Amino acid sequence: MNLKENLVESRRFYHRIAEPGWMEFKTTINIIQTLKEIGVTDIKYGKEVHSSKDMLGMPPKERLEEYAKTINMDTDFDISEILQGYTGAVATIDTGNDGPTIGFRFDIDALGIEESHDDDHRPVKEKFVSENNFGMHACGHDGHLSIGLFLTDWIEKNKDKLKGKYILIFQPAEEGVRGAKSMTSVGVVDHVDYFFSSHLGLGVEDGKIGVGTTGFLATTKFDVSFKGVSAHAGAAPEKGKNANLGAASAILNLHTLPQISDGMARINVGVMKGGTVRNAISDNAMLMLETRGETEDIREILDTRTRQVIHGAALQYDLEYEIKEVGSAPALKKTDEEFYTEINSLLSGKGFNTFRGGILEGSEDVVYFMNRVQDNGGKAIHFIFGTKLAAGHHNNKFDFNESCLETGLNVFKECIKYLNKI
Same fold yes or no, 3-216+332-420 and 218-329: no
357's CB contacts (< 8 A; 6+ apart) are 210, 211, 212, 213, 214
User: pLDDT (tens digit, 9 = 90+) per residue, 173-197?
Assistant: 999 999 999 999 999 999 999 999 9
User: pLDDT (tens digit, 9 = 90+) per residue, 67-102?
Assistant: 999 999 999 999 999 999 999 999 999 999 999 999
Element (H, E) at 418: helix 403-420
190's CB contacts (< 8 A; 6+ apart) are 372, 376
The 10 Å CB-count burial string (b at 16+, else e) for 231-260 is beeeeeeeebbbbbbbbbbbeebbeebbeb
- Check if the beta carbon of residue 360 is closer than 8 Å to that of residue 214: yes
The 10 Å CB-count burial string (b at 16+, else e) for 15-29 is bbbbbbbbbbbbbbb
What confidence category does residue 421 fall into, taking pLDDT thresholds of 50, 70 and 90?
confident
The mean pLDDT of the chain is 97
The yes-or-no verdict on residue 371 having pLDDT over 80 is: yes
> What pTM did the predictor assign?
0.95
CATH 3.30.70.360 is the classification of domain 218-329:
yes
Which amino acid belongs to residue 221?
Answer: K
3-state secondary structure of 142: helix
What confidence category does residue 3 fall into, taking pLDDT thresholds of 50, 70 and 90?
low
What are the sequence ranges of the domains in the chain? Answer: 3-216+332-420, 218-329
Secondary structure of 256-277 in HEC code, one letter for each residue:
CCCCCCCCCEEEEEEEEEECCC
- Rounded distance, CA 375 to CA 379, Å? 9
- Check if the beta carbon of residue 201 is closer than 8 Å to that of residue 140: yes
User: pLDDT (tens digit, 9 = 90+) per residue, 329-358?
Assistant: 999 999 999 999 999 999 999 999 999 999
The yes-or-no verdict on residue 385 having pLDDT over 80 is: yes
User: Could you name the CATH architecture of 3-216+332-420?
Assistant: 3-Layer(aba) Sandwich (3.40)
